[in-house]
Amino acid sequence: MADQPARSLSPKLDSGDTEAEPGSPTGSGIETKTDDTSPRPQSSPRNSSSFYSQHKRPADRDASRDDAAAVSGSTSGLTQPDYKRQKSPSTRVPDDHPSPPAFAAPPRYPGIETQLEARPVSMTQLVNEIKNIYTGLVMVESKCIEIDDAQGASGNTFNNLNDEQWQALVALHRTLLHEHHDFMITSQHPSASPSLRRLAQKYTMPTRMWRHGIHRFLELLRHHLPASGEHMTAFIYLAYSMTAMLYEQVPAFEDAWAECLGDLSRYRYAIEDDDQHVRDTWKGVSRRWYTVASNRAPTIGRLYHHLAILAWPNIITQMHFYAKSLCVPIPFASTRESILTLFDPILNGVPTRGVPPIDTHFATAHAILFTKAPCLGRLDSATSEYLQALPGHITRMAKNWIETGAQTAVVNCCALLQYGDKHNALLKLLQKSGSAVDTGDNDSDDCDSNIDDNEGGDVHLKPGSSNDADIDGAITDAPSDKQPPVGYDALARSQKFTVDTDNVVLSMNGKPSCNGYIHVRLVWMLSMARLPGARAFLENAFPWRRLTNALNLMMASCSSYEHIERETFPQLVKEERSSSPKDEPKTQSEDSYRDKTGVATSILAFPPPPSRKSKPLPEDWALRGLSWAEDMFPHAWFDIVDIMDDDDRFMESEPMAELRRERILWLAWKLARYEKWLVYDATKHEFSVANPFINVGDRERGWGANAIIDDLDEAGNELVEN
């Protein structure tokens, strides 16, 4: 991360700005005065009511600095600068300093004050305290950088460190963490001005805390395992407790703290070799923190990369997170290397312990598609084995395949984008339409880019337009149906595998466990339908006839057609649905809905859930953040995340199954509105295929899948006839 230009911390003056390295003692980027004798407190203002009534700095903090300086000098061979803070000659509060009188105790409790005496904190006090803290912070930071750089240059300098020397290094980095804590608490004090509050972001303090206070030292300890194991464990606990405290006390940087806590938990999980229970516990803790971070920044691919690493041995979930990491608006380029650690053993025929064979077949097919390996024979074999095992696998897993099916569909759709390849034709069309994906490298270290990602604000995808004319102006006209568009050959293998999977799933006689997969695939098709240039890539390969068979089976159990035949999808609870007669006339236009104020609001997607009873579906979380699906949801759709537990999100229920069916039928109705592929009969409430596409996709099943699909078709036709 580029160093920020140094500026004065004075809220009034910026004339003393100088260019300097933020890690150097003389170029701290903060104006300091060693001759300042104005009275100021010697500790951080942890709260506005009582903290400044005590003006002594805790003795253990200065002792920690002294110990770290004394012993770290012996380990590094470098002269340790005197980085104690400049103390004011007098810390006594002036006699004329205003303070509110203490409240008198009730007569019933003599000698007890009901409220501690509180002195207000002036802006001058805060500025002086921040300058004082930052001076010490930079000096400790420069020492940590010096030691880490020396270790990186010499390689084996610290091989012979004894316990006391390791403890000294831990003490030095502990002091730096304390300084960062003081800086954060003081700069975010309730009495601080907006300019003071912005200092932590301006000087990238969370990133510097992670990089110089935690990460580089953890790497030093890791390279000297097992000798440094005890010290590494102790330091992880120390850094974790300090970061967790900042997560509670400095919510302005919750995203950064959550990711740092996930990284620390992952380090603790990785070094645990003795107790499997402890290892699993820290793995779950790390996954939880990364989930919190990704919920707050769903378009950052780095977080999905971390979740993918923790998903082993669930290969489908792991591939789902890897695919999302590459296909969100801010992809993580290092994922392309990490995913090879999963694919290479599979391609080399190394047995995968604890992984079901069907998952191995699925991963083998995608490994060949990802690496573009010229082994079509092996792709045919893996695909055939996967498709033959899929119906029985879906039947055995029952409801558990709803989530797995949604993840499978996401991976297949990302394969059509060639896993975020910047040369992919569909990805280029998405970029032109406004659902932009940054295909540049976003390959910074963990937590290093947290502040940079947030400095520009959250990434919000522009909602797609339901008016094709808006898109036609941004994208060239689609090519003729008789002539495949440019770039189709590169998609042919991924397209064929995806269509074969579609044929098998859509032929499963309307099993509810298949609806998660169908839902995701319809979201993909509707997103592509809005892009005229993308239609030619997909419309001639999708199994439209099998889709209509599955849709009509769902229609048979539909309780209310008015929730399907409308532009917006009203996520209403059951009580609200039962109180609304089916024949109630519509009082709003198809292209708008009225909010609580009565104002008609144009919206493409369905409105946010009104209560916990009407919450996002599990596959909504799987789709969240993807460049081709984000415009399906309004920005407030996932606000319920703060009141939902992780397990509660994926808990399947009967109302949720009904909502999923209605969502699928609504998406199909939206596709039928294009009057191109599907036809919807509003009188019979049935779907059918437009004449040009009746047989499209039915023969796109290769690799020995014909027999199993034909058997499923016969069973499905009997259900429809009955």
> For the segment 313-348, what is each residue's pLDDT rounded down to a tens digit?
899 999 999 999 999 999 999 999 999 999 999 988
- How does strand 686-689 pair with strand 678-681? antiparallel
Q: Which of 2, 8, 50, 6 is nearest to 24 (CA)?
A: 6
Q: What is the pLDDT of residue 40?
A: 37
* pLDDT class of 458 with cuts at 50, 70, 90: very low
The two tokens of residue 599 are: 């104002």
Instruction: Give, to the nearest 10 degrees, the angle between helix 357-371 and helix 376-397.
Output: 140
Closest CA to 272 of 263, 262, 282: 282
CA 57 to chain centre: 39
- Residue 40 falls within a domain, yes or no? yes
Q: Is 478 left (phi over 0), alpha (psi -120 to 50) or beta?
A: beta
Q: How confident is the model at residue 106 (pLDDT cuts 50, 70, 90)?
A: low
pLDDT value at position 23? 39
194-203, 451-460, 657-666: which is most confident: 194-203
> Is residue 256 predicted with pLDDT exceeding 50?
yes
Question: Mean pLDDT lowest for which of 11-20, 98-107, 684-693, 696-705?
Answer: 11-20
Count Cα atoms within 13 angstroms, Cβ side, for 16.
13
Say whether pLDDT at 211 is over 80.
Answer: yes
Q: Is residue 632 packed enough to be buried (19+ CB in 10 Å), middle (13-18) or exposed (0-12)?
A: buried
Q: How many domains does the chain have?
A: 1
In a domain, 164, yes or no: yes
How large a percentage of the chain has pLDDT more than 90?
Answer: 39
Per-residue pLDDT, 649: 67
Domain span at residue 208 reads: 1-92+115-249
pTM of the model: 0.73
Question: What is the band of 538 on the pLDDT scale with cuts at 50, 70, 90?
Answer: confident
- Kindly tell me if the per-residue pLDDT of 20 is higher than 50: no
Q: For residue 635, what pLDDT band results from cuts at 50, 70 and 90?
A: low
Q: Give the position of tokens 């069907």.
A: 358
Q: Which of 212, 157, 154 is nearest to 21 (CA)?
A: 212
pLDDT at 498: 94
The yes-or-no verdict on residue 96 having pLDDT over 70 is no
Q: How confident is the model at residue 568 (pLDDT cuts 50, 70, 90)?
A: confident
Q: Which residues contact 307 (CB under 8 A, 6 or more apart)?
A: 287, 290, 291, 294, 321
Q: What pLDDT score was predicted for residue 103?
A: 52
Residue 431 lies in a domain: no
Whether 580 shows a pLDDT value over 90: the answer reads no
pLDDT at 590 over 60: no
The verdict on residue 554 lying in a domain is: no
Asked, for residue 501, whether it belongs to a domain, the answer is: no
Q: What is the mean pLDDT of residues 661-665?
A: 90
CA distance 630 to 461: 7
Residue 517 domain flag: no
Considering only CA atoms, which of 541, 539, 481, 488 is closest in space to residue 701? Answer: 541
Residue 256 in tokens: 């950064």
The answer to whether residue 201 is domain-embedded is: yes
238 closest CA partner among 163, 185, 170, 293: 170
pLDDT at 594 over 90: no
pLDDT, residue 158, reads: 52
**In 41-170, where do the E strands start and end?**
none
Highest mean pLDDT pick, 9-23, 361-375, 379-393, 641-655: 379-393
The predicted pLDDT at position 703 comes to: 39
Number of C-beta neighbours around residue 233 at 10 A: 15
The residue assigned the tokens 């980027």 is 29
Alpha carbon distances (Å) from 191 to 11, 45, 248, 648: 13, 10, 18, 39
DSSP letters, 296-324, are H-TTBHHHHHHHHHHTTT-HHHHHHHHHH
Examine the pLDDT at 22 and tell me if it is beyond 80. no
Per DSSP bridges, beta strands 592-594 and 686-689 are unpaired
3-state SS of 509-551 is CCCHHHHHHHHHHHHHHHHHHCCHHHHHHHCCCCCHHHHHHHH
Residue 156 lies in a domain: yes
User: What's the CA gap between 392 and 372, in Å, rounded?
Assistant: 29
